[in-house]
Amino acid sequence: MVVFSIMESEEKREIGAEEGVAAEEKGWEAVPERGAAPPAAGGNKGLLPGLLCDLKGGARLSLLLRSDLERLDATSARLVLLVLTDLALNLLCSFVLVGTGGYFSYSSLPGFFFHLPLLLLLGLAAGRLLSRCGAAPAVAAALIALSIPIEFCHAILEAVAQLRHFEWLQDYLTAPHYYRFYWWWGAAALLFLFRIDPARGLRRLRLPLLFALLVLPPLWYFPRGDLWASSAQESESGELSLTDEVLAAQAKLLDRELAALKPGRPGVTDIYFVGFAGDASQDVFLKELNYAKALFDRRFGTSGRSVLLANNPQSATTLPFASAGNLERTLVRIGEVMNRDEDLLFLYLSSHGSRDHELAVNNPPLELKQLTPELLKRELALAGIKWKVVVVSTCFSGGFVPPLQDDGTLVMTAADATHESFGCGFGEDFTWFGEAFLEDAMSKEFSFTAAFDRARETIRKWEEERGETPSNPQIWVGKGIEPKLGLLERVLREGKSKEP
């Protein structure tokens, strides 16, 4: 009996050795039996060799290949090292992309680590289902190692998209395109979890289903942000505080401005100026519109006939908010007080713009409606203003031209419908278009179209000098307003020449 037992044991060892050789030839170690301790080889690696092995394994998983990470031998120490590596890579990549003008985003830290307890919880569940001790840190480590090469690929694509000839790639870095990387990670993770479960049949889907229910939905709704963020994401003058003083002032400011508007004078073409600084995050829009209003009051006689709407914490108690509703009220009131057959509206809008041709109307914590070309067209039609000049100083502003076209309208934009304009930086006094059109051209010209041509040429030279993609400012002149503007130019020029 003893001899038989010894022979049986030897036979089992030989069979086990043969299975091990077969598994080794396939490049894969067989999954241990239930209750067996995980192989010690991976766990005995030093931290640095273990990290390099984990990163290599993560790269293989991202390519949907088998990896040593499927042995589930990663220790808690290696998990911590992977988390720190992931953090360092995110910080390094975002710093390279944003530059020294950015800042460390402490507010992104909680979101950055949001996934870790979810992955550990999944690992605990996997350990129970697989009867594997220590599976929690190993599963979490594998999924984090998998995310690192995918995040690195996304960073490379962001860097390439900053090159002049690859700007079209930006479209693939914004939601929902960004989540193609999310689905890449999710698909590779599902395959990994399917492989580590030795069960047969439908039971082998238990870990992938648990992952799909426990991890994927929260990470979809709460994606993590970069640790080094662009300063453009912060408001230059801080965020608006809706104090009693602000609320009381805003309740009266627009009414006061509209009540003070002077009526049009018979036989005289009066100009009514309306400025709209739509985005509160940067002071450049308020600065540009302050200059424009002062210029028109001084040079084009709009004093008493000008209204400035602005979103900026600095002007919260002195200027009415720039909202679609306030703009509509302003235009309707001007349509009432002006002589519609003689007088002219000059509407200047400055803000950020989107590829969908929406002019940004942002003033957190307020939730404001964005200004679209169609909405602006409806508001102008409601006001019944016949003669109007509309300037849109935003990126992709050429999208405003077709909807606003009519015989009584001159439309000028800082860019065409598919390109960005420039100069929306912190500390700037003007956008490029505002500087070229207002400060350089309108301060010398009485012709709006001549000023635009002059500004367009100036912007073209600046873009060539700095290697920027041309913004292609656009202009459209209605047949009816063209002679009207010519007559107005002569009147303004003659009036200026008669001044002492």
Residue 113 identity (one-letter amino acid)? F
Mean pLDDT of the chain: 86
Rounded Cα distance between 246 and 231, Å, is 26
- Per residue in 288-323, pLDDT tens? 999 999 999 999 999 999 999 999 999 999 999 999
Check: CB of residue 156 under 8 Å from CB of residue 141. Answer: no
Check: CB of residue 451 under 8 Å from CB of residue 441. Answer: yes
- Per residue in 76-92, pLDDT tens? 999 999 999 999 998 99
Read off the tokens for 494: 């003659």
Note if the bond before 365 is cis, omega within 30 degrees: yes
Q: What is the pLDDT of residue 22?
A: 41
**Is residue 6 predicted with pLDDT exceeding 60?**
no
Degrees (nearest 5) of the Cα angle 442, 428, 400? 55
- Per residue in 189-210, pLDDT tens? 999 999 999 999 999 999 999 9
Structural domain spans, the chain:
47-233, 244-497
DSSP 173: G
Degrees (nearest 5) of the Cα angle 473, 477, 478? 150
Q: What is the pLDDT of residue 154?
A: 86
Residue 135 identity (one-letter amino acid)? A
Residue 344 identity (one-letter amino acid)? L
Confidence of residue 175 (pLDDT cuts 50, 70, 90): low
- Per residue in 136-146, pLDDT tens? 999 999 999 99
- Which segment of 62-71, 178-187, 333-342 scores lowest on mean pLDDT? 178-187
Check: CB of residue 148 under 8 Å from CB of residue 265. Answer: no
Check: CB of residue 278 under 8 Å from CB of residue 371. Answer: yes
Residue of 300, 350, 303, 323 whose CA lies nearest to 254: 323
Rounded Cα distance between 458 and 429, Å, is 17
pTM for the full predicted model? 0.58
**Is residue 235 predicted with pLDDT exceeding 70?**
no
End-to-end CA distance of the chain: 128
- 3-state SS record for 240-268: CCCCHHHHHHHHHHHHHHHHCCCCCCCCC
Buried b (16+ CB within 10 A) or exposed e, 278-295: bbbbbbbbbbbbbbbbeb
* Complete DSSP assignment for 464-486: HHHTPPP---EEEE-TTHHHHHH
Fold of 244-497: Rossmann fold (3.40.50)
Report the pLDDT averaged over residues 98-119: 81
